[in-house]
Structure 1
Amino acid sequence: MSHSMTARAPIPCCLSRPAVVCPLGDTPAAIEAALFQGQRGLVDDDALIDARTLPVGRVATPLPDDSAWPAQHRSRNNRLLAAALTQLAPTLEAFRQCHPDARIGVVIGTSTSGIGETERHLGHYRQTGQWPEAFHYQRQEIGASARFIAERLGLDGPAYTLSTACTSSARALTSARRLLASGRCDAVIAGGADSLCRLTVNGFAALGALSDAPCEPFSVNRRGINIGEAAALFLVTRETGGIQLSGYGETSDAHHISAPKPDGAGAQAAMEMALEMASLTPGEVDYINLHGTATRLNDSMEALAVAKVFGEASACRSIPACSSTKALTGHTLGACGALEAAFCWLAMQTERLPPQVNDGHIDPQLAPLRYATADTRQTCRRAISNAFAFGGNNISLLLERAS
């Protein structure tokens, strides 16, 4: 890979302070405290799957009341987004004073939308043969999330939702960057949300991918994932300074409907593309937020891909510090790309790194990585956040703190 021939992006792509609602909390102070101390935000749940109790990453903080909203917008997914929007409001309102609403876009990633509400209404339908009055099909449409935000805020710019499973909200950020580069928008509200529901939990159970205990990414004892929920939003603008999305890479393995390609070629290529777009060498990256689902196949593939890209970074520099924050939040599916980009954003602002939380028994069969600990203190100027999804679609985001 050659970096010398690649020019810097023609426009800046600044990510505002993230607005986050997740199992670690809903304020910067609460989230940072849990994130950098490695505190798990998982709770036991026996309602999402029959005859089985599972640890899940459930948002416990109060969410906005949706009883007065239009029926098509009443869903837990949108309540998560509304809570995040409240945090984003001061930044957005200051921007709107100088820019027309037609120049502000909305791009959201999700995989569940309002399916949880439909699940509850199905019980009524099975008993009576009729849908309850509160049921509205539109709330479960994939496009509902972006439409909700645009209508709630009265924005007239492009508004659409992406659903590529666990890469959805990471792709929303790259789509926002392209909207800015095209000149179509001056700013984009970008990120994602997913809420806990029986459909996803039972689907992953059918694949044999769920762990009955808190997940253990990269441990020899890893047994699978925990499912979580979250919302994470950014206002993406052309402003200079701050935290920039300076590169990204998107690839597709086309290897298997649910399993990653074992050699990690697609993940490797995504990281290399992100580095090339940002005109950076591997040795200039300080931290990698790993996708790290704690499944046998993902962790093996990802460790191998990271070692291939960063193992020869420099004769005097080791592999960047790495960690998977899914041990803390669970796998938030369509929200994880934006959520974990937000964690990288916080790491670059605080110069603390999220530690790798597991049982301490790293799998010796994995390619060796340098895992961050709660005691890790270092300057973090540049970070990569990985997200990989069903169908072998991969994305790596490269965030950089401007000088």
Structure 2
Amino acid sequence: MYSKVAITGMGIISSIGKTVEENFTSLTEGKKGISTIENLETIHKDVIKVGEIKLTNTELAQLLGLSSDNNYSRTALLGAYAAKQAVQSAGINAINEYRTGLISSTSVGGMDMTERYFYDYFKNEAVQKYITAHDAGDSSHKIAEYLGLEGFVSTVSTACSSAANAIMMGARMIQAGKLDRVVVGGTDALAKFTINGFKTLMILSDTYNTPFDNHRKGLNLGEAAAFLVLESDAVVKEQNKKVLAYVSGFGNANDAYHQTASSENGDGAFLAMEKALQLAKLDISDIDYINAHGTATPNNDLSEGRALIRIFGEKVPEFSSTKAFTGHTLAAAAAIEAVYSVLALQNNVVFPNLNFQTPMEEFDLMPQTTLKHKEIRHVLSNSFGFGGNCSTVIFSKN
């Protein structure tokens, strides 16, 4: 029988802060991290805005105490930094004391290194180590290695729902008695590959993204990493752990509608939310805040909005997309938004949906546009990805 899984630690680095505290301050003070590109050479540099972390790879490596000849991709650097924070936040001093796993997610992987060194691969043996860091699993193993974790390691890559599925998988492994605790989350760095790809799809905005606005022009890509520590009831009790929140429900579905677009009626989103509510044994009236996927693309916001109405009817809870702060961080999106969901629970706040001006003409839905203080017991977080990958996680106070 399913029971809730405790969250005992979390760590994050994004364009609005390199700690949990810095991210919370930015969210409550309306400080967005959307800017022009500085750390990446691209022909689109002056055309688009992104949620870029203003630290170079060298600076990140120094923060991690890595040698200058390391072959960590930017994805791995960001991931190791956030995962270490999460483990420290959970008060874990002996990472292998219990059956501990890592489930990390990414879509970019080591693409930033591949782009830089691909053409020199056969000419310069010294750069070959960077190409071997290309695959998605390499970043997960680098993070595990950095943490000193010797147990189960897995990688999830289901586009923009990846980290939500990592959280689900970790919770299920604890419930099945396979692991005692799991570090779960996601990490993705900006790369020319993703910038060019989204540019080709014509869904990048040349200005600040405006989720759920009738005149939305598209998304801002971002980079980030975030991880949560999930622990079993037995470990929490044995170590008298402070619990930050609980994973109380989750669901995933695939509407099989299109390679990149969501179903116009939000079929996958509807099914994911429905499953999560059923698993959590919650009524629609129990949800106090929705951290929406809200990418500010024409298709996503219409699809998600319709799905919300199908689930909640005329009583859609207060909702907002925090992507106006961070940009869309792809596989890391559900992880950073999990941290934001826990912060909402801890501080009883609904974060604002920045840049919103005009309601969408297709339905009467208004996101929360200012910081609001209220009692929050349950937060529903949506993450929807290419290929119809739709996932929902519900976080609860107790």
Q: Is 1:259 paired with 2:257? A: no
Q: Is 1:44 paired with 2:43? A: no
Offset of residue 320 of structure 1: 0.8
TM-aligned CA distance change 1:186 to 1:39, over 3 Å: same
Q: Contact (CA 8 Å) 2:157, 2:331: kept in 1 or not?
A: yes
Q: Which whole-Å deviations, capped at 9, do the CAs of 1:342-397 have from their partners, x for residues lacking one?
A: 111101111111101124122222x3334223241111110011000111110000
Q: Contact (CA 8 Å) 1:231, 1:335: kept in 2 or not?
A: yes
Offset of residue 95 of structure 1: 6.1
Match of 1:342 among 339, 344, 356: 339
Offset of residue 195 of structure 1: 0.3
| Corresponding position of 1:152 | 146
Which amino acid in the other structure matches residue 253 of structure 1? Answer: D
Q: Is 1:130 paired with 2:123? A: yes
Q: Is 1:324 paired with 2:317? A: no
- Partners of 2:25 and 2:33 in 1: CA distance: 12
Offset of residue 157 of structure 1: 1.6
TM-score between both structures, scaled by the size of structure 2: 0.91
TM-aligned CA distance change 1:51 to 1:180, over 3 Å: closer
**Secondary structure at 2:246 match in 1:** strand
TM-aligned CA distance change 1:40 to 1:51, over 3 Å: closer
TM-score between both structures, scaled by the size of structure 1: 0.90
Offset of residue 67 of structure 1: 5.3
Pairwise mapping of residues 210-359 of structure 1 onto structure 2 (< 5 A)? 210-239=204-233, 241-311=243-313, 318-359=315-356
Which amino acid in the other structure matches residue 27 of structure 2? Answer: L
- Partners of 2:159 and 2:31 in 1: CA distance: 26
Q: Number of residues paired by the alignment?
A: 382
Offset of residue 92 of structure 1: 5.0
Pairwise mapping of residues 173-212 of structure 1 onto structure 2 (< 5 A)? 173-212=167-206
Which amino acid in the other structure matches residue 354 of structure 1? Answer: F
Which amino acid in the other structure matches residue 152 of structure 1? Answer: Y
Structure 2: which 5+ residue stretches go unaligned? 237-242
Match of 1:94 among 86, 92, 95: 92
Worse-matched range after superposition: 288-297 or 143-152? 143-152
| Corresponding position of 1:114 | 110
Q: Is 1:380 paired with 2:382? A: no
Structure 1: which 5+ residue stretches go unaligned? 1-6, 313-317
| Alpha-carbon RMSD | 2.0
- Partners of 1:104 and 1:95 in 2: CA distance: 13
Q: Which whole-Å deviations, capped at 9, do the CAs of 1:284-319 have from their partners, x for residues lacking one?
A: 00000111111111000000100111125xxxxx32
| Corresponding position of 1:394 | 390
Q: Contact (CA 8 Å) 2:51, 2:221: kept in 1 or not?
A: yes
| Corresponding position of 1:63 | 60
- Partners of 1:195 and 1:230 in 2: CA distance: 7
Q: Contact (CA 8 Å) 1:23, 1:57: kept in 2 or not?
A: yes
